[in-house]
Amino acid sequence: MGDFTIQISSNLVNRLVDDVETSKKKTKRTKPKVPKEPQQPQSNVSQKQIFDDSGMPKSAAVPGWSMQPPSYLPAIPPPQSANSEVESVRSVLHESEEVVERLQKQEENMLREVTQKAKDLRDNEYKLPAPKPMPCVAELDSSLACFKEHTKDPLECASLVSSLGDCMRRFRHQVSV
């Protein structure tokens, strides 16, 4: 199924609503005609007749003739078809509103997902790596303390320095394996 877009402007909606409201206002109830007293026909001289271009009297001038629009005028659609057109426009409008609502929900979900992924990327990018534990900290501290204590005779700390060296060799061996 192909992708398509329906765009309904607020101007169109307002025009449709205005058309419906004006058509409701224009419908008037006709009062039943009360027959008047029949008038006596007057002489032909005083009766007005309307003639068309061909010289023939128009149907309005002749009593009993019905008025039919000329054939070149478009036929006036019955009011039912106008109502059905309005209803079809309303149904299309309702369907398009539902589509807009679904698209808005989909957009909100996608925005939430993108925001979460951006947050995860930012957290991972700027996250400081966990500091690696420094090896042989106890041996280093004890040898430093010994050197501070025996500044004049550093040979007193030889055993601590050799234990620090042994610890470092064990650590290097563990890292290389």
Neighbours of 19 (CB within 10 A): 14
Domain span at 164: 137-176
33 found inside a domain: no
167 found inside a domain: yes
8 A C-beta contact, residue 134 and residue 110: no
90 found inside a domain: yes
Residues 144, 170, single domain; the answer is: yes
Burial status of residue 143 (CB atoms within 10 A of its CB: 0-12, 13-18, 19 or more) = buried
Q: Which residues pair with 51 in a beta bridge?
A: 57
Q: Which helix (H) or strand (E) holds 173?
A: helix 158-176
DSSP alpha helix (H) spans, 52-131: 79-125
177 residues of the chain, pLDDT tens digit each: 567 777 777 887 788 777 766 666 555 556 656 555 555 555 444 444 555 555 555 544 455 555 566 666 666 655 566 688 888 889 999 999 999 999 999 999 999 999 999 998 888 877 677 788 888 999 999 999 999 999 999 999 999 999 999 999 999 998 888
Residues 116, 144, single domain; the answer is: no
104 found inside a domain: yes
Calpha distance 145→136 (Å, rounded): 14
Question: What is the pLDDT, as a whole number, of residue 45?
Answer: 43
CB within 8 Å of 20: residues ≥ 6 apart? 86
Question: What is the pLDDT, as a whole number, of residue 111?
Answer: 95
8 A C-beta contact, residue 174 and residue 132: no
Residue type, 25: K
4 found inside a domain: no
Question: What is the pLDDT, as a whole number, of residue 61?
Answer: 47
8 A C-beta contact, residue 59 and residue 65: yes
129 found inside a domain: no
162 found inside a domain: yes
Residues 119, 141, single domain; the answer is: no
Structural domains in the chain (count): 2
146 found inside a domain: yes
Residues 146, 119, single domain; the answer is: no
